[in-house]
Structure 1
Amino acid sequence: MKTKARSTSKGWEFFQGLGKTFMLPVALLAFMGLLLGIGSSFTSPTTIENLPFLDHKVIQVFLRFISMVGGFAYTYLPLLFAMAIPLGLARYEKGVAAFSGLIGYVIMHLSINFYLVETDRIANADVMRQEGQGMVLGIQSLEMGVLGGIIAGLIVYFLHQRFYNIKLPQAFAFFGGARFVPIITAITLSIVGIIIPMIWPFFTMIINGIGSAIKGAGVFGPFLFGAGERLLLPFGLHHILVAMIRFTEAGGTAVINGDTVSGALNIFYAELKNGSPISASATAFLSQGKMPTFMFGLPAVALAIYHTAKPKNRKKIKGLLISGVIATFVTGITEPIEFLFLFLAPALYGIHVILTGLGFMVMALLGTKIGNTDGGILDFLIFGVLQGTYTKWYLVLVIGVIWFAIYYSVFRYAIIKFNLKTPGREVEEDQEGSDSANSKSSSHSDNSQAAKLLDALGGPENIQSLDNCITRLRLVVDSLEKVDEPALKKNGALGVIKLDDHNIQVVIGTHVNHVRMEMDHLIESKGYKISG
């Protein structure tokens, strides 16, 4: 029974880690998308007509250069996933893991090309796309997209875990340890590349089936996606759903400038890059659906929490709420506000899930065309306002006002009606904890907070693995009984999620990386070594 529990714990740890690794390339993609959006918006004929001073050779060359840089991440996204997955999941020799990811991805496509040539299935250039083939790093191969990078990355990770510390016979000792990982990667992925063309139709059938189910849901497709993402967020698994819709056939397929492009975000970037009309069917799963909730709904929640706090405590919680509003309004990072009510009132979080899904559905029904990833003010301005009125950006403001009123009314009523202990309404002994959370919610953290959190987690001897995502510490602990949840909250934790007997997440805020690094130093200074 204990073995089964440990296996379940390892499963949670793996899928959480996988979701986290997706954020490394996606974060780069989000920033590069902003560059692409700025470059495309200021080089469009409509913008130049309205702003004639932009019609200058030097300015236009610079803007095209910005667009080129922004298109980098989109062009090489599968390779980025192939490297980021083993890099993020590996606990030791991370550099070797990433290096092996590059090797594995290239070798896999070389082997696919070899198989296609030897079996006389290599397509001519004029029918390459129709045959599901394309050029990958100069190699004619199957059009696998991001899924190809994910497959290569996962295989490399498992090979790395198995062989990074292997000991070979004395005569071959030079090739042992970490040096063996790229060697076994090259051998294994070359075989995988031969097998993939035989089974690839099965993969495409599954993904196309998911895409067909979403399309078959009609107007409810965006609703299911938006609600599903919020529903998975507390478990840290939402990135997996998001990646599937953004980067695979499940998010749609389109032919743009002669190229077959799959995934809602890929389609949007390809259209933006080529100056093609933006597809409302692609943006239905992107930033526009988040905006009613992220830019208006969650700030309304913060205002409701502030207004229902005890008057003497409002000054104490103001900083906490403002930092949360800035995070969601500007960057689309919502956890600092969501975790203020997730554990106090799960029913309210359920309403939040539904409203987020409805936001996606309503924006899609209204035909808005605002893409990218974050759903904050930057996406609204760059991919909405600056692209012109055809994006129908003004509808975001109309729906946003309605969402603000709904969120504020529902949350204010629920907090008062059920006497929810949101920040500022705690009993007297807990107010220090709220003040602590407020004082620690800035970008500065100190050793005292990291030390107190470490003690509340049972000390370094209780921690098997320590890592972080955008807002949370992700830990594998030896015993949950040693974890002092009230002490964690008293020292700045916005929430504590216990996934099973060993996996725990502690929501800190956007400064979590600083806290994690300080905890690492404290653990090492006490003579312990843990995996990350």
Structure 2
Amino acid sequence: MSNQSTSPQITFWEFFQSLGKTFMLPVALLSFCGILLGIGSSLSSEGVIAQLPWLGNPTVKLFFQWMAWIGDFAFGYLPVMFAIAIPLGLARDNKGVAAFSGFIGFAVFNLSINFYLKQAGILESFDELELKKQNIKAILGVQTIDTGILGAIIVGIVVYFLHEKFHRTELPDAFSFFGGVRFVPIITLLTMNVLGLAIPFIWPFFAAAINGLGSLIQGAGIFAPFLFGAGERFLLPFGLHHILVTLIRFTEAGGTLEVCNNTISGALLIFKEELACSEVTEFSVSATRFLSQGKMPAFLGGLPGAALAIYHCAKPANRMKIKGLLISGVIACMVGGTTEPIEFLFLFVAPFLFVIHAILTGLGFMIMGLLDVTIGNTDGNIIDFIVLGVLQGTKTNWHWVPVIAGLWFVIYYIIFRFAITKFDIPTPGREKDSNEALANEFSGTPANFDSTGYDIEGILVALGGKKNIVSLDNCITRLRLSVQDMSLVQENKLKSLKALGVVKLNDHNLQVVIGTKVQTVKDGLEKLMKVN
């Protein structure tokens, strides 16, 4: 048997960045399902029906109950989605096989644990209450140890490495049918069987570590959401914030509560369970203080204030040239919860402003918790505010959001305007370049800018050409690349082609901040690389 692999080796740094990016596929679905669940549960509740009797119509009520039922789907199958999404996102070739193997791995992993529990007599020895205490529950139809998101992440990572090592495996002629990509699910099945048998012995150590992290975070008291909110922002430029966010949202690090006779761990999962349970009359601040509400002061108020300050500080002749850039950034922030298009306008030219922004974001998290605001979900945008705040009634204390967001707008505007003018920070519209250069950078008028608004060919050249690119991927707003020779990457040229920033992580890995059209740019680059 031989294993011929020509794929470039992934670095430690690149691996963790890419791992965090893979979390966004299931999280994006969760965000949408959270909105469905919020609308459905709110408009089918007896309290809202009492105020709006027409919602009590059987057909209307059934529709919103159905909406809530569909919205609850993603939360119930979250671990298996992570197990599939991780190898899918990390694999460089044959992604479909990697995703298929992810499901196989997760299923076999839990079946193997179930086998051990049966052989050890644990399932027969304890009643339902005792099994619950032992963290044993039904997953994919079998009773197993509930390893949660952490277990799914472990499965996904192992499957990815198996895929990368064996997807080009050549077997002897008699067994050649099982070679190549067909060998990946086979080796996955065998490996996960062994790992599943080991889990009952090693899982208590993993659980103790996560519980210890949770105790450390909860022990910070009122400062816990501040540390989380500021930490997430500080990690964002490096693309590692997804790791912290996932731990808080989906593991014991984000807290553990009893909700409707179910023990739930993870801030987002606790909120979702409370949202779906008709017996819950108040959402838990201990969970929501790590969720959407904490982002809202900065996302709905602060960053729009910073954008206005950047606009007012631009040279009068350049304001109209940057107006569209700023407006699109504010819309992405307030409606989509995507902040990088604004943040990267000042991150590289004035890092101390980003530090202030991160601290103010953390303070927003802390103040929302102190005011007992209870608005959950993931994005912190205007949709979360309306659906999971306003529609849930006064119990969420949503009225504090516009007050604090308005205050943050003023604070950001004053700080940014003072800093930009005092220290002559070259934010958009204040550069020393000529007016013609500015017009080219922000208007997208050059002849080689295609219908996407970007010069894809120019970006490829600025990256050192096709031969310099080892791997190419993207997250929500950034191209993520590995290159052969970093010296061939023309940072200033990329910025002149409308890149918002360039983050050089090490000698071979970098990120190019594009904005909300990053997928289009990445697809264009891949198409161009195949042609040339």
Query: TM (normalized to structure 2)?
Result: 0.95
Q: Counterpart of 2:456 in structure 1: which amino acid?
A: A
Give ranges in structure 1 of 5+ residues lacking alignment: 1-6, 527-532
Does residue 238 of the first structure (1) align with residue 241 of the second (2)? yes
CA deviation after TM superposition for structure 1 residue 431, in Å: 5.8
Does residue 467 of the first structure (1) align with residue 437 of the second (2)? no
Structure 2 partner of 1:493:
499
Q: Deviations over 1:6-46 (max 9, x none)?
A: x9971111111101100000001101111001001101222
Structure 1 Cα separation of the partners of residues 435 and 121 of structure 2: 72
Q: Deviations over 1:185-230 (max 9, x none)?
A: 0000011000001011100100001100011000010001000100
Structure 2 partner of 1:287:
292
Decide which of 389, 394, 403 is 1:398's aligned counterpart. 403
CA deviation after TM superposition for structure 1 residue 438, in Å: 4.8
Q: How does 1:359-398 map to 2 (within 5 A)?
A: 359-398=364-403
Q: Deviations over 1:484-530 (max 9, x none)?
A: 1111000010000000000010000101100100110100001xxxx
Structure 1 Cα separation of the partners of residues 73 and 455 of structure 2: 39
Structure 2 Cα separation of the partners of residues 434 and 149 of structure 1: 49
Q: Counterpart of 1:323 in structure 2: which amino acid?
A: S
Decide which of 260, 263, 266 is 1:260's aligned counterpart. 263
Structure 2 partner of 1:314:
319
Task: Please state whether the residue corresponding to 2:75 is helix, strand or coil.
Answer: helix
Structure 2 Cα separation of the partners of residues 64 and 377 of structure 1: 23
Q: Deviations over 1:287-345 (max 9, x none)?
A: 00000000000000100000000011100000000000000001110000000000001
CA deviation after TM superposition for structure 1 residue 257, in Å: 2.0
Q: Counterpart of 1:131 in structure 2: which amino acid?
A: Q
Structure 1 Cα separation of the partners of residues 438 and 490 of structure 2: 14
Task: Please state whether the residue corresponding to 2:346 is helix, strand or coil.
Answer: coil
CA deviation after TM superposition for structure 1 residue 436, in Å: 2.8
Structure 2 Cα separation of the partners of residues 76 and 511 of structure 1: 30
Query: TM (normalized to structure 1)?
Result: 0.95
Asked whether the 8 Å contact 2:454–2:498 carries over to 1, the reply is: no
Structure 2 Cα separation of the partners of residues 288 and 220 of structure 1: 15
Structure 2 Cα separation of the partners of residues 437 and 217 of structure 1: 45
Q: Counterpart of 1:335 in structure 2: which amino acid?
A: E
Asked whether the 8 Å contact 1:444–1:511 carries over to 2, the reply is: no
Structure 2 partner of 1:529:
none
Structure 1 Cα separation of the partners of residues 356 and 373 of structure 2: 24
Larger mean CA deviation between 44-53 and 85-94 belongs to: 44-53
Task: Please state whether the residue corresponding to 1:428 is helix, strand or coil.
Answer: coil
Decide which of 183, 187, 199 is 1:184's aligned counterpart. 187
Structure 2 Cα separation of the partners of residues 384 and 197 of structure 1: 41
Structure 1 partner of 2:4:
none
Structure 1 Cα separation of the partners of residues 440 and 136 of structure 2: 58
Q: Deviations over 1:222-250 (max 9, x none)?
A: 00100010000000000010000000010
Q: Percent of pairs identical after alignment?
A: 57
CA deviation after TM superposition for structure 1 residue 127, in Å: 2.6
Q: Deviations over 1:415-444 (max 9, x none)?
A: 00010110011113376356534549xx98
CA deviation after TM superposition for structure 1 residue 124, in Å: 2.6
Structure 1 partner of 2:5:
none
Structure 2 Cα separation of the partners of residues 434 and 257 of structure 1: 59
Q: In the superposition, relative to structure 1, how do residues 135 and 167 fare at CA in structure 2: closer, same or farther (>3 Å)?
A: same
Asked whether the 8 Å contact 2:444–2:454 carries over to 1, the reply is: no
Structure 1 partner of 2:529:
523
Decide which of 118, 124, 127 is 2:127's aligned counterpart. 124
Structure 2 partner of 1:219:
222
The CA RMSD measured in Å over matched residues stands at 1.6
Asked whether the 8 Å contact 1:445–1:511 carries over to 2, the reply is: no
Aligned length: 518
Larger mean CA deviation between 182-191 and 249-258 belongs to: 249-258
Task: Please state whether the residue corresponding to 2:388 is helix, strand or coil.
Answer: helix
Decide which of 249, 265, 271 is 2:274's aligned counterpart. 271
Structure 2 partner of 1:140:
143
Q: In the superposition, relative to structure 1, how do residues 9 and 100 fare at CA in structure 2: closer, same or farther (>3 Å)?
A: closer
Q: Deviations over 1:267-289 (max 9, x none)?
A: 11111111223111100000000
Q: In the superposition, relative to structure 1, how do residues 430 and 150 fare at CA in structure 2: closer, same or farther (>3 Å)?
A: farther
Q: In the superposition, relative to structure 1, how do residues 430 and 520 fare at CA in structure 2: closer, same or farther (>3 Å)?
A: farther
Asked whether the 8 Å contact 2:444–2:453 carries over to 1, the reply is: no
Q: How does 1:317-336 map to 2 (within 5 A)?
A: 317-336=322-341
Asked whether the 8 Å contact 1:86–1:101 carries over to 2, the reply is: yes
Q: Counterpart of 1:103 in structure 2: which amino acid?
A: I
Task: Please state whether the residue corresponding to 2:62 is helix, strand or coil.
Answer: helix
Give ranges in structure 2 of 5+ residues lacking alignment: 1-7
